[in-house]
């Protein structure tokens, strides 16, 4: 992990098949309106009937393999987002696809009203990977967070002895844990909160990275501290190295659960199975998702020990699709990849290459870089362009990335990315910045 600052150096751009030309950096509507042909038809059809809750880049993906995607016109792009870490192991990983295909021919859904032969092996493997006892299988990341909140409250009332309906959970400023009504209740992003109240009570927000603020906020009714080990949507905000160990000590001493939302940071993204591993911390609960489904099906989970997870009783929580045979089969295959340690190691090595490449751009259009494994937040000089504008120009050069919070862009390519492709991505960013400075 690092915050990188340094002088920029020149690099020779490599060649790749380019995406469509972008007219005005930062002008999403202008970009979309200029797309014609098959791509334009697909975008127009989508826009006619879909709720406009996203503003995607105007590329229409038709197929993908490894770290590359191909659009409807045959143009190839390097995927430097990996579906927010859901595609950690690359598009169409043979082992994961094979597991899904085999299960599709057997049974895909039974509901939890019955047992299935895939769920037991899946939860056993996941508990072993996390070093915990029990698993609550769900589908989406937001469901895992909601489940963790319910579980923490139940533990607080049934084990800690908090009086009914008084439990509170401490969260961090700048957090992003999902978009359900309870989760946005403790967001400080106006986009997440405006016109969506009234909000769920029971949350206290303190500055991220400040362990002393957490301790000061704890009272007799505090049941949990819920944190992202690295804040993803906020721009890959890496806290001080001592932060999570201090939070672990404070929560243990105060009989408060420590819940780590590793939905984006976990499962190989930061060079370890969990980002908590990188700082020597074991939380009471892991919240997992995204990469757990291998980029094939939505799979999420809450993982913890029996003294916490065991407080829930039959009928108090559930999901029709949670723990379904197809999801369990794919999840088991994902775990088998992680158990080798190969992907964690690759993320560390390739991440060092990515960080080194980005470091040379600081001072030449890049203000700062924050990174952990193959995950980087890149602050663009706002005097040059918005983050969206830079992403549009990168798209025109065959690289797909995502902006956040105005002038920050994120690189989070699949862990299977090659060294040459990392160099290509950095070279294209350098070329975009050179063009903007000209």
Q: Which domains does the chain have, with CATH numbers?
A: 2-79+346-437 (3.90.1150.10), 94-340 (3.40.640.10)
Q: Is the pLDDT of residue 25 over 60?
A: no
pTM strictly above 0.85: yes
Q: For the chain, give the mean pLDDT.
A: 93
Give the confidence band of 27 by pLDDT, cuts at 50, 70, 90.
Answer: very low
Average pLDDT of 221-237?
98
Assign 106 to helix, strand or coil.
coil
Please give the full DSSP string across 153-167, using - where no structure is assigned.
Answer: HHHIIIII-PPTT--
* Integer CA distances (angstroms), 421 to 179, 350, 424, in order: 33, 10, 5
Give dist(CA 375, CA 153) in Å, integer. 32
CB-CB contact of 264 with 228 (8 Å): yes
Q: Is the pLDDT of residue 1 over 80?
A: no
The 10 Å Cβ neighbour count of residue 360 is: 18
Average pLDDT of 375-402?
98
What positions carry a catalytic annotation?
A: 176, 261, 290
Of the chain, the percentage scoring pLDDT greater than 70 comes to: 92
What's the pLDDT at 12?
Answer: 28
Q: pLDDT by residue (tens digit) across 276-308?
A: 999 999 999 999 999 999 999 999 999 999 999
Please give the full DSSP string across 182-217, using - where no structure is assigned.
Answer: HHHTT---HHHHTT--S----EEEE-TT-HHHHHHH
Please give the full DSSP string across 409-422, using - where no structure is assigned.
Answer: EEE---TT--HHHH
What's the pLDDT at 15?
Answer: 32
Residues 6 or more apart whose CB falls under 8 angstroms from that of 141 comprise 177, 178, 263, 287, 289, 290, 300
CB-CB contact of 148 with 289 (8 Å): no
Directed axis angle between helix 325-339 and helix 342-359, to 10°? 70
Q: Which of 360, 356, 431 is nearest to 390 (CA)?
A: 431
The torsion of the CA quartet 387, 391, 393, 398, rounded to 10 degrees, works out to 160
DSSP at 58: S
The 10 Å Cβ neighbour count of residue 166 is: 15
Q: pLDDT by residue (tens digit) across 104-148?
A: 999 999 999 999 999 999 999 999 999 999 999 999 999 999 999
Q: Where are the alpha helices (DSSP H) in 218-281?
A: 243-253, 275-278
Q: Is the pLDDT of residue 28 over 60?
A: no
Of the chain, the percentage scoring pLDDT greater than 90 comes to: 92
First to last CA, the chain: 32
DSSP at 233: T
Sign of the dihedral through C-alpha 423, 88, 234, 172: negative
Across 6-10, 80-84, 335-339, least confident range = 6-10
Q: pLDDT by residue (tens digit) across 138-185?
A: 999 999 999 999 999 999 999 999 999 999 999 999 999 999 999 999
Q: pLDDT by residue (tens digit) across 64-87?
A: 999 999 999 999 999 999 999 999
CB-CB contact of 167 with 200 (8 Å): no
Residue 253 buriedness (CB in 10 A; 0-12 / 13-18 / 19+): exposed
Measured in whole angstroms, how far is the alpha carbon of residue 92 from the centre of its chain? 19
* Integer CA distances (angstroms), 420 to 163, 200, 207, 407, in order: 58, 48, 39, 26
What's the pLDDT at 34?
Answer: 56
Sign of the dihedral through C-alpha 314, 317, 319, 322: negative
């Amino acid at each position: 992990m690092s915050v990188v600052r340094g002088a920029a150096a020149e690099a020779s751009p490599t060649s790749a098949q380019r995406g469509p030309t972008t007219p005005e950096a930062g002008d999403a509507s202008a970009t979309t309106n200029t797309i014609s042909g098959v791509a334009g038809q697909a975008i127009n059809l989508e826009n006619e009937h879909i709720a406009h809750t996203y503003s995607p880049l105007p590329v229409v993906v038709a197929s993908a393999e490894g770290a590359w995607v191909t659009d409807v016109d045959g143009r190839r792009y390097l995927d430097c987002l990996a579906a927010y870490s859901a595609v950690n192991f690359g598009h169409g990983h043979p082992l994961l696809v094979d597991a899904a295909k085999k299960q599709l021919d057997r049974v895909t859904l039974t509901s939890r009203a019955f047992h299935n032969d895939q769920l037991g092996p899946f939860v056993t493997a996941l508990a072993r990977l996390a070093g915990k006892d029990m698993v609550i299988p769900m589908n989406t990341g937001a469901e895992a967070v909601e489940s963790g909140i319910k579980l923490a409250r139940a533990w607080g009332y049934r084990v800690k002895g908090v009086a009914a309906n008084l439990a509170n959970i401490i969260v961090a400023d700048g957090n992003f844990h999902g978009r359900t009504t309870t989760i946005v209740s403790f967001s400080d992003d106006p986009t997440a909160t405006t016109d969506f109240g009234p909000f769920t009570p029971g949350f206290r927000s303190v500055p991220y990275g400040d362990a002393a603020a957490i301790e000061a906020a704890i009272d007799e009714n505090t049941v949990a501290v819920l944190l992202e080990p690295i804040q993803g949507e906020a721009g890959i905000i890496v806290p001080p190295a001592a932060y999570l160990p201090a939070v672990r000590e404070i929560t243990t001493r105060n009989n408060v659960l420590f819940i780590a939302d590793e939905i984006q940071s976990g499962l190989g993204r930061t060079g370890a199975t969990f980002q908590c591993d990188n700082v020597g911390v074991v939380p009471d609960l892991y919240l997992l998702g995204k990469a757990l489904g291998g980029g094939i099906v939505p799979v999420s989970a809450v993982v913890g020990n029996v003294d916490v997870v065991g407080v829930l009783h039959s009928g108090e929580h559930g999901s029709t699709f949670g723990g379904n045979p197809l999801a369990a089969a794919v999840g088991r295959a994902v775990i088998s990849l992680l158990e080798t340690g190969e992907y964690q190691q690759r993320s560390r090595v390739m991440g060092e290459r990515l960080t080194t490449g980005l470091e040379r751009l600081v001072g030449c259009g890049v203000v700062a870089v924050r990174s952990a494994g193959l995950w980087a937040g890149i602050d663009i000089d706002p005097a040059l362009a918005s983050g969206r504008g830079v992403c549009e120009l990168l798209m025109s050069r065959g690289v797909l990335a995502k902006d956040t919070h105005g002038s920050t862009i994120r690189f989070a390519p699949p862990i299977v990315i090659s060294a040459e492709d990392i160099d290509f991505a950095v070279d294209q960013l350098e070329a975009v910045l050179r063009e903007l400075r000209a």
